[in-house]
């Protein structure tokens, strides 16, 4: 599956336009933008408009089972990200989930979540990030930044600028969205 930052190209523009069209249709139909129902409730027949992403996934995987998450996000500073990841459900259920402990634990602190939100919203330097209310002392700030970097949620670029890696933007937002359900 594809991930990362995009800068151009007709194929990417077409894919983003198609995603925007689908999101608009979905927003018009269901303001919550989420749908969940037991498989037994639809007796093998999905409403293709209501479950448009799921219908596409099932067309690709056939009778198998899989999990899909995807997104298209525009952030301040002309930063745009597209991402999709599909995982075979059996493979996921059989995997060693211990590897998820550190990245999830790093997200388990309210100040770290606040820092990530500020960085996604355009703060980049330690001074900009540290100006956020309630992040504590500079020592505490750097402790949280190091924890997020060690877990792969942040990278430090040249001149002390922090950013969420391109391949982590959509997964981070999906994790936050899933936690709100």
Q: Is the pTM for the entire model greater than 0.85?
A: no
Where is the domain boundary, 33, 62, 94? 94
What span, in angstroms and rounded, lies between the C-alpha atoms of 65 and 10? 32
Domain shared by 129 and 117, yes or no: yes
pLDDT tens-place string over residues 120-174 = 999 999 999 999 999 999 999 999 999 999 999 999 987 789 999 999 999 999 9
Are residues 166 and 117 part of one domain?
A: yes
Average predicted confidence (pLDDT) for the chain: 83
Alpha helix ranges (H) inside the chain:
10-29, 52-61, 89-94, 101-106, 110-120, 126-130, 138-150, 166-179
We report the CATH number of the domain holding residue 147 as 1.10.10.10
Residues 60 and 87 in one domain: yes
Is there a domain that residue 2 lies in? Answer: no
Residue 133: domain span: 98-179
Task: Count structural domains, the chain.
Answer: 2
- Structure confidence by residue, pLDDT tens digits, 43-62: 445 677 778 888 888 888 87
């Amino acid at each position: 599956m594809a991930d990362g930052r995009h800068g151009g190209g007709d194929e990417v523009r077409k894919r983003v336009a198609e995603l925007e069209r689908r999101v608009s249709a979905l927003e018009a139909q269901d303001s919550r933008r989420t749908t969940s129902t037991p498989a037994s409730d639809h007796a093998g027949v999905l409403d293709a408009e209501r479950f448009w992403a799921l219908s596409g996934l099932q067309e690709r995987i056939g009778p198998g089972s899989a999990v899909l998450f995807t997104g298209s996000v525009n952030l301040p500073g002309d930063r745009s990200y597209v991402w999709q990841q599909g995982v075979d459900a059996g493979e996921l259920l059989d995997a060693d989930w211990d590897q998820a402990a550190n990245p999830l634990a790093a997200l388990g602190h309210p100040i770290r979540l606040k820092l990530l939100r500020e960085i996604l919203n355009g703060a980049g330097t330690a001074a900009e990030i540290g100006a956020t209310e309630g992040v504590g002392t500079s020592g505490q700030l750097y402790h949280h930044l190091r924890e997020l970097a060690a877990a792969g949620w942040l990278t430090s670029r040249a001149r002390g600028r922090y950013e969420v890696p391109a391949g982590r933007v959509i997964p981070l937002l999906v994790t936050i969205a899933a936690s709100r359900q």
